[in-house]
Amino acid sequence: MASSRAAKRPKVDPSSSSSAPPPPPPPPQRGDDDYVPGNIVEIELCNFMTYDHLTCRPGPRLNLVVGPNGSGKSSLVCAIALALAADPAILGRASSVAAFVKRGEDSGHVKISLRGNTPDHKLCITRKVDTNNKSEWQLDGTTVPKKEVIDLIKKFNIQVNNLTQFLPQDRVCEFAKLTPIQLLEETEKAVGDPNLPIQHRQLIDRSKELKILQVAVKQKEQTLNNLKALNAELEKDVERVRQRDRLLKKAELMKKKLPWLKYDMKKKEYKEAQEKEKT
């Protein structure tokens, strides 16, 4: 015999809902070498701007480039940006990579080594540029499309287009003009949690919806108050109509009673006249 009891509903784990955003990636941890995955461990320049050849190895923490004007400090910054797939325009100096080739040379290159997931793992990105405004990309010595390099640096949350993460000297004024809202948005992107800007945008959309609903509620409240006032006036009219109906009914009743009253008066007069005749 089949049971008449309804089948139990399966339990739903809220954490397994498809609408829930994925958890943020864990923050990168420093290894025994004190570097974080994605840190620059070596920079090599060849025929780039003011340099014939330069190799430097940044430390794992704060690095300062000190020198007099014209010594090539900005050249180092430009090299980092271009090797990390930045568009030349973001540097505020030139719109083409050809302008970064050392004067008198036909080509040059920038090579940046990034620390991988382990101290022994290095990722080498090379960008070769020439005076014909062409670029060639290499990853660990193998020629690759630019997209592959971009995908790699995205894994390390490197954002050379984000002024809160990479600020060239020629764009300081642009950074100073950012509104507090723009600064917050760029900072959220730089933090590394991909869900944060999405949640922020959702919050902004919900706030806009809330404001629309608040305006609608105020309008409905005003309409309700107007209808209440109108209803109060109509209730007065209704009461006057009811009072009129009561008076009309009373008048109609009086009209019906009037013949009987006249009859009683005549009857009384008749009896009085009979009494007088008897006497």
Q: How many Cα atoms within 13 Å fall on the side-chain side of residue 244?
A: 6
- Looking at residue 26, what is its pLDDT? 61
Q: What does residue 109 show for φ and ψ, rounded to 5 degrees?
A: -150, 160
pLDDT of residue 16: 44
pLDDT in tens, 179-199: 888 888 888 777 766 678 788
Paired tokens of 230: 């109108």
d(CA 4, CA 217): 47
Q: pLDDT tens digits, residue range 45-95?
A: 999 998 999 999 999 888 888 888 888 888 888 899 999 998 888 887 778
- Residues for the chain: how many in total? 279
- Both tokens of 160, joined, read 């050379």
CB proximity list for 169: less than 8 A, separation 6 or greater: 74, 77
Residue type (1 letter), 34: D
Q: Give me the pLDDT at residue 177, please.
A: 87
Q: What's phi and psi for 149, nearest 5 deg?
A: -70, -40
Would you put residue 92 in left (φ > 0), alpha (ψ -120 to 50) or beta? left
**pLDDT for residue 249:** 93
- In this prediction, residue 197 carries a pLDDT of 79
pTM for the predicted model, two decimal places: 0.60
Dist. CA 157–CA 166, nearest whole Å: 12
83 burial via Cβ count (<10 Å: 0-12, 13-18, 19+): buried
Q: What is the pLDDT of residue 22?
A: 54
Burial class (CB in 10 A: 0-12, 13-18, 19+), 119: middle
For 151-187, the pLDDT digits (tens) are 998 888 888 888 877 877 777 888 888 888 888 888 8
pLDDT band at 20 (very low <50, low <70, confident <90, very high): low
In angstroms, the CA 20 to CA 199 distance is 11
List the domains of the chain with CATH numbers: 40-189 (3.40.50.300)
Cβ(115)–Cβ(38) under 8 Å?
A: yes
Q: What is the pLDDT of residues 92-150, one digit of tens each?
A: 777 889 999 999 999 999 999 999 988 888 999 999 999 999 999 999 999 999 999 99
Residue 190 token pair: 């730089």
